[in-house]
Structure 1
Amino acid sequence: MDTDKSCHNTVSKIIAYLVGVGVEIPSTDTSAYCQARSRLPETLLQKLFRQTGQNLEEKVTTEYLWCGRNVKVIDGSTVSMPDTTENQKEYPQPSSQKLGCGFPIAKIGVIFSLATGASVALCMDVLNTHDLKLARQLYQFLNPLDILLGDRAFCAYADLVALLKLDCDAVFRKHKSRTTSIRKGKIVGDCDKLVTWYKPKICPKGLSKDEFDALPETITVQEIYYYIVIHGFRTQRVSLITTLLDKTTYSTLEIVGLYGHRWDVELDLRHLKTTLGMDVLRCKTPSMIRKEIYVYLLAYNLLRGLMWSAGTTYATPPLRLSLKGTRHHLNNFIPELLAAASTKRQQIYRTLLKVIAHKPVSVDAKRLVVRHRPARSEPRVRKRRPKAYPLMTKPRHELRKQLQSA
C-alpha cells in the first residue's frame, strides 16, 4: 500500500518499528528480507487473498444484493514485469516487439463482487490468451445462484451452458459475431424476446471433443436491446443476452440497469493497477511475480473491507467511498495503532472508520464520497508532455556499443 515498494523502504520501516519498541535493530541489508519473502508459499498467499474476499462476501446483507442475488463481475487485463530471462520464458513479450526492446506481459482474469468491490478469484496466463480461457478457470469460484456479469468477450454458447450447470446465471453483452434480428424469437416485451440458441456445428477452440459432445442441442436465452443516446455522439444500439428468463422477478429495466454497473470492474482494475501500482510489477522471477499479484489483491481486499466497515458503520454506501483516501488514512494511522494499547487501539480504529466515511470538503460539510456521475465522458488524451527521448528499437547492449564507438 506504500507508494515506494522497494525492499530497502520495507526494511527501513521494520527498523523504525523495532527502534520504537526497544528491540536491537537488524542490518540494513535487504538480503535477509528478500530471502524470507521468497520462502513464502504461493499457495499461502493465494489462500489468504481468497479468504479475505470470502469473509467480506459473508458480511453482505440483503439490502446490498441485486434482486436478492449476488452479482460477480468478470474481466481480463494485463500486467507488465521486469525484463529477465525467467520472466520472458514464462510470460513472453508481444511478438511485435524486438528482443531486448520490450517487457514480459501476462494476462490476468479477475472476478470482483459487485456488492463489495472485493476481488474473489484470479487466474493468470500468457499475453495472447483469450478471455474465455481465463473465464473457464474462474467458474469454479462461483457460488450457486450467483449472477456473472461481463462484456461481449464472454458471451459464448458453451459458457452459458457451463454457468447454468453451476446453478448460476449470466448477463453478457451480445457478441458481435451473432447478428441481431428483431424478427426471430418470441417477443415478451417492448424491447426483449426469448431466443433459442443452437449448438455450434463445429467444436470451438478451447473445448475438447468430449466437452463439445456433452453440450445440449439448444438453450433458451433472453435478448434485450436498447439504445444509448448521448448528445454529440452517434446513437448506439446495445444487445444483452441473459439466462434470467423470469420477467416477474427480473424486469427488463433492472437487467439493463445491472449491465450499466459492468463498468465498475474497469474502475476496480484501475484501483489495482493505477492507485495501488500493480500495472508494473517489480519481481524478477515468475513465482515471485505471482506472489506479488496475490499480495496486491490481498491489500486491495483489506482496503475494501475497511471501506465496508466504515460505510456500514456510518450509513454511507461503501462503494462510494474513496479507495485512495482509505489507503492514505490507513497508512497514516498504522503507527498509532501499533503503538497503542489494546483498549486505546479500539478507539483509534473507530476514529479511523469515522474519518474514512466522513470528511468535510466544503462549508456545507459534505461527505468525501465518489460522486455519481452518469454519462460522464472524458477524452483519452495526455496533457503532460513526455520527455523527448526516442523509443528503444535495439537491445541495450547494441546501443551501448554505438555510444562507445561514437
Structure 2
Amino acid sequence: MTRTITVAEGAFAPGHLGGLTQHVPFEMVDAVLAETRTTQARVRALPARVVVYLLLAGCLFTDHGYGQVWHRLVAGLRGLTVAAPTAAALTHARRRLGPAPLKALFDLLRGPGPTSATGWVRWRGLLVTAIDGTTLSVPDTTANLDEFTKRASGNSGSYPHLRLLAVVCCGTRTVIDAVFGPSSVGETSYAPTLLRRALRAGMIVLADRGMATNDIITAITSTGAELLIRCKTNRKLPVLQRLHDGSYLSMWHGTTVRVITAEITIATTHGKRTGSYRLITTLLDPHTHPAFDLVTLYHQRWEIETTYLAIKHTILGGHVLRARTPNGITQEVYALLTTYQILRHAMTDATDTQPGTDPDRASFTIALNAARDQLIQATNIITGTVIDLVGHIGQLVLANLLPPRRLRLSPRAVKRATSKYPPHGPKINRTTYKATININILDTPP
C-alpha cells in the first residue's frame, strides 16, 4: 500500500491544516502576511506562513505544547527533510510574527458564512443573530496581570480572565465579529463598538436584559438592523398605542419600540414552572411580526451559548490559554476564533449539500476530531482543480448527523464539580427532562 501526499515545497511543507487547509489556503495566509508586513525577509527554518498554521493547529490540540503540535504537523511528512525546532525557537517565531496576521485572517473569515442553510439562519427575511459575552482564563504571569484581572472573589488561586464578546449567527453558529479585552471592562462597554461593526440592515439581533441600555439600543438602530431584547419588568415604558396581539408601542429615549409581555409555562414530568418575559423590539407591525412568533424567536438567543460551549469545552477542554504575555494572548485568541470559524464553515458547507438539513444537526465534536486526524496524516492539503466542498470532514459530519432538536429542559447547574469533595447545601437536581412549553401573551393593564 502506498500513500501520496501533496504539500508545499521546502521549508513551507509543515505549514498546513490537513483537510481544513482549503478553508484557509496558502494564498490567503500569504495575503495577510503581506498586508500586515510580516512576511519573512529571507526564508528561515520557520517561515511566517508555517508559524500561522502552527498557531491554528495549536487550537486543534489545546492540551499539547507547541513542540508536540509541531510533531503532529510533520507526522505525515515522513521521507521529507523538515525542521526540528526547539521550544525556544517556536516561542521566538510566534513572538516575531505577532498578533496582526491572525487578526487580519479572522477579519477575512468572520461573518455568517453560507446563508442558504435552513433552520433559524433567516427569520422572515432577517438574518438571526445574537450577542453575549463570556470569559477565558489566561496564565497567571506578571505580564498578564498587568493587563488582565482576577475575579473579585478573594480567591488568590484563581487565574486572570479576559472578556470575550461576540455576535453570532444563530442558525450556523458562526462568529460574525468579536471583541475581547480585560474582564475589568463590562460587556455593555464593549458592545456598542462591536455592534456598529457587526450589524447591518437585514439583520435582527437578540440579547438578554443586561444589554437593554441606551447606548446599545442606539448602536443597533444606527446600523439599520432590528432588535429583540429582553428588558427588566420594572422599566417604565408608557403605553402609546395598544395593538391587537396584546403588545403595545412605546418610546425608549427617542426610539419607537414595541413591548411584548409573555407568560411562559414549562411543564415536565417533574412539575411545572411559570415565568414572565418582557421583550422590546423595533419590529412594530403586529401583522407581519406577531407577538407570539417573536417570543418563540427569542429562544434562539441560546444558540450563542452553544458557540461558547464549543470554544471553551470542546476545543479548549477547560484549559487555560497558553500565552504568557498580553501580546501572545491577543495572537492566541484570534487563532482560536479563526480555527473555530473554519470548522463551522466546513460543517455548514457539508449540510448545505443536503437541502433541508438544519446546520444544528452537524456535530462539532465529529468535525474537530476529523480535522485533527487529517492534520496528523497530512491529507487533503492541496486540492485538485475541482474543490470538494464536503471533503472527508464533511462526509463524517453527514454520516453522523445528530437527531432533530428535541424540546428538553436542563437546569443551569454544574454537572461535574471541579472538586472531588461533595458540595455543601441541598442536593441539586441535574436531570434533563422532556418538556412542553405554553406561551401566553399578556395584555398590559391600563
TM-score higher than 0.5: yes
Which residue is 2:5 aligned to? none
- For 1:14-163, what aligned pairs fall within 5 Å after superposition? 14-18=73-77, 20=78, 22-27=79-84, 29-54=86-111, 57=113, 59-61=114-116, 64-97=121-154, 101-139=157-195, 140-163=197-220
SS of the residue 1:45 aligns to: helix
Which residue is 1:5 aligned to? 64
SS of the residue 1:75 aligns to: strand
SS of the residue 1:90 aligns to: coil
Give per-residue Cα distances to partners, 1:191-216, cap 9 Å, x unaligned. 3111123x3xxxxxxxxxxxxxxxxx
Alpha-carbon separation, structure 2, partners of 1:172 and 1:41: 38
Alpha-carbon separation, structure 2, partners of 1:93 and 1:351: 42
1:253, distance to aligned residue in structure 2 (A): 2.5
Pair 1:228 & 2:264 matched: yes
1:329, distance to aligned residue in structure 2 (A): 1.8
Would the alpha carbon gap of residues 370 and 172 (structure 1) be closer, same or farther in structure 2, given more than 3 Å must change? farther
Corresponding letter in the other structure for 2:243: V
1:324, distance to aligned residue in structure 2 (A): 0.9
Give per-residue Cα distances to partners, 1:74-125, cap 9 Å, x unaligned. 0011111111011111012124326x53321111211111232111211123
Which residue is 2:374 aligned to? 333
Alpha-carbon separation, structure 2, partners of 1:152 and 1:388: 35
Pair 1:173 & 2:209 matched: no
User: Which runs of 5 or more structure 2 residues have no equivalent in the other structure?
Assistant: 1-59, 423-446
Alpha-carbon separation, structure 2, partners of 1:176 and 1:312: 41
Alpha-carbon separation, structure 2, partners of 1:108 and 1:24: 40
The answer to whether the 8 A contact 1:320-1:369 is kept is yes
Please, what TM-score do these two structures have when normalized by structure 2? Answer: 0.73
The answer to whether the 8 A contact 2:366-2:396 is kept is no
1:379, distance to aligned residue in structure 2 (A): 6.1
Which residue is 1:392 aligned to? none
1:322, distance to aligned residue in structure 2 (A): 0.8
SS of the residue 1:229 aligns to: strand
Give per-residue Cα distances to partners, 1:357-399, cap 9 Å, x unaligned. 123xxxxxxxx3154122422462445683469xxxxxxxxxx
Alpha-carbon separation, structure 1, partners of 2:418 and 2:380: 44
1:349, distance to aligned residue in structure 2 (A): 5.7
Give per-residue Cα distances to partners, 1:281-304, cap 9 Å, x unaligned. 111001111111111111111110
SS of the residue 1:291 aligns to: helix
Alpha-carbon separation, structure 1, partners of 2:378 and 2:161: 38
Which residue is 2:10 aligned to? none
SS of the residue 2:139 aligns to: coil
The answer to whether the 8 A contact 1:322-1:370 is kept is no
The answer to whether the 8 A contact 2:347-2:362 is kept is yes
Would the alpha carbon gap of residues 25 and 220 (structure 1) be closer, same or farther in structure 2, given more than 3 Å must change? closer
The answer to whether the 8 A contact 1:106-1:125 is kept is yes
Which residue is 2:242 aligned to? 187
Give per-residue Cα distances to partners, 1:147-204, cap 9 Å, x unaligned. 11110011123322232222111110013551578xx34211333111123x3xxxxx
The answer to whether the 8 A contact 1:79-1:278 is kept is no
1:342, distance to aligned residue in structure 2 (A): 4.5
1:251, distance to aligned residue in structure 2 (A): 2.1
Would the alpha carbon gap of residues 384 and 92 (structure 1) be closer, same or farther in structure 2, given more than 3 Å must change? closer
Corresponding letter in the other structure for 1:323: F
Match of 1:311 among 351, 364, 375: 351
Would the alpha carbon gap of residues 186 and 137 (structure 1) be closer, same or farther in structure 2, given more than 3 Å must change? same
Alpha-carbon separation, structure 2, partners of 1:253 and 1:324: 34
SS of the residue 2:312 aligns to: helix
Which residue is 2:409 aligned to? 376
Pair 1:259 & 2:298 matched: yes
Which residue is 2:340 aligned to? 300
Alpha-carbon separation, structure 1, partners of 2:187 and 2:306: 18
Match of 2:308 among 265, 269, 290: 269
1:277, distance to aligned residue in structure 2 (A): 0.7
Corresponding residue pairs, total: 355
Deviates more, 1:78-87 or 1:309-318: 309-318
The answer to whether the 8 A contact 2:233-2:278 is kept is no
CA-based RMSD:
2.7
Deviates more, 1:70-79 or 1:87-96: 87-96
Please, what TM-score do these two structures have when normalized by structure 1? Answer: 0.79
Alpha-carbon separation, structure 2, partners of 1:324 and 1:307: 11
Alpha-carbon separation, structure 1, partners of 2:389 and 2:180: 39
1:5, distance to aligned residue in structure 2 (A): 3.1
Corresponding letter in the other structure for 1:294: Y
The answer to whether the 8 A contact 2:149-2:184 is kept is no
The answer to whether the 8 A contact 1:314-1:354 is kept is no
Which residue is 1:283 aligned to? 323
Q: Which has the higher contact order (CA 8 A, sep 6+)?
A: 2
- For 1:323-402, what aligned pairs fall within 5 Å after superposition? 323-336=364-377, 338=379, 342-343=383-384, 350-359=391-400, 368-369=401-402, 371-378=404-411, 380-382=413-415, 386-387=419-420
1:351, distance to aligned residue in structure 2 (A): 4.2
1:307, distance to aligned residue in structure 2 (A): 0.6
